[in-house]
Amino acid sequence: MTKTLLTISLAIYLLAVSSGPVVSAQKKRPAKALTTSIKEVPHKALGVAAPNECLQVFRDFFQYLQKSEPGIVSDEQAQKRWLTQELRKSLAQKVASFKDKPDDPDFPGNGTFVGSWDYPSTYSLVASRRYGKRVVIDVLYKWGPGTNYPGDERTSSFIFLDEDGSWKLDDVYTFRGAFVQAESLSQYLREK
């Protein structure tokens, strides 16, 4: 029994001695800065231009949005043609969250997809890029005289996905401007 006790005592002593300096050394070290870095890996095709079919889908959809009727909110055929399944679901959730539907000034409509209730005077497709099944089309809006925002400019990025062999809108990101906060359309539609 004394031999066992001696072995256990020796083991405890060795453990205490061996872990003691390490613990105290860790306490004495000054805090060091993070040195983690994320390695950049070259990629063959870094954002090639959007295919013409997708640009045409954007133009057709944008022309549709400029009409007051039919509205995208009630036009299920247009939703299926131009919106991804996920965006359609988010739109339906947003619409369901309104009690006094069309009477509420915040009720979604075609302007929700443009990103402004006061439509711009002009728009330009300033850039586009494709990343596999995703396309981003950057649109520059300008407001001229006779609008509520004369002289204002704003950029929005329309994000399309190749869904079931067709280009469909998945989100619109509006960059912060003088009269607007930065916003994602899909995020706005998911908010209650």
- pLDDT at residue 42 in the model: 74
Give the Cα separation of 137 and 104 in Å (integer).
31
Q: Report how far apart, in Å, the C-alpha atoms of 12 and of each of 102, 161, 174, 176, 182 are.
A: 77, 63, 64, 63, 61
Looking at the domain assignment, is residue 36 inside a domain?
no
Judged against a pLDDT cut of 60, whether residue 25 lies above it is answered with no
CB-based contact 103:184 (threshold 8 Å): no
Percentage of the chain exceeding pLDDT 90 = 62
CATH number at residue 105: 3.10.450
Percentage of the chain exceeding pLDDT 70 = 78
- pLDDT at residue 11 in the model: 45
Give per-residue pLDDT as tens, 88-142: 999 999 999 887 666 787 889 999 999 998 999 999 999 999 999 999 999 999 9
Give per-residue pLDDT as tens, 51-73: 999 999 999 999 999 998 889 99
Q: For residue 180, give the nearest of 159, 155, 160, 151 by alpha carbon.
A: 155
- The residue segments making up the domain with residue 171 are 52-190
Judged against a pLDDT cut of 90, whether residue 40 lies above it is answered with no
- pTM score of the predicted model: 0.77
Looking at the domain assignment, is residue 60 inside a domain?
yes
Looking at the domain assignment, is residue 4 inside a domain?
no
Judged against a pLDDT cut of 50, whether residue 79 lies above it is answered with yes
**Amino acid, single-letter form, for residue 111:** G
Judged against a pLDDT cut of 80, whether residue 186 lies above it is answered with yes
Looking at the domain assignment, is residue 2 inside a domain?
no
* Poorest-pLDDT segment among 2-11, 90-99, 132-141, 169-178: 2-11
Looking at the domain assignment, is residue 167 inside a domain?
yes
- pLDDT at residue 29 in the model: 62
Calculate the average pLDDT of the chain.
84
Looking at the domain assignment, is residue 35 inside a domain?
no
Looking at the domain assignment, is residue 131 inside a domain?
yes
Q: Which helix (H) or strand (E) holds 50?
A: none
Give the Cα separation of 97 and 39 in Å (integer).
44
Tokens 């300008």 locate to 142
Looking at the domain assignment, is residue 43 inside a domain?
no
- pLDDT at residue 24 in the model: 47
Structure tokens at 135: 């396309």
- pLDDT at residue 6 in the model: 43
The residue-averaged pLDDT of 153-175 equals 97
Domain count, the chain: 1
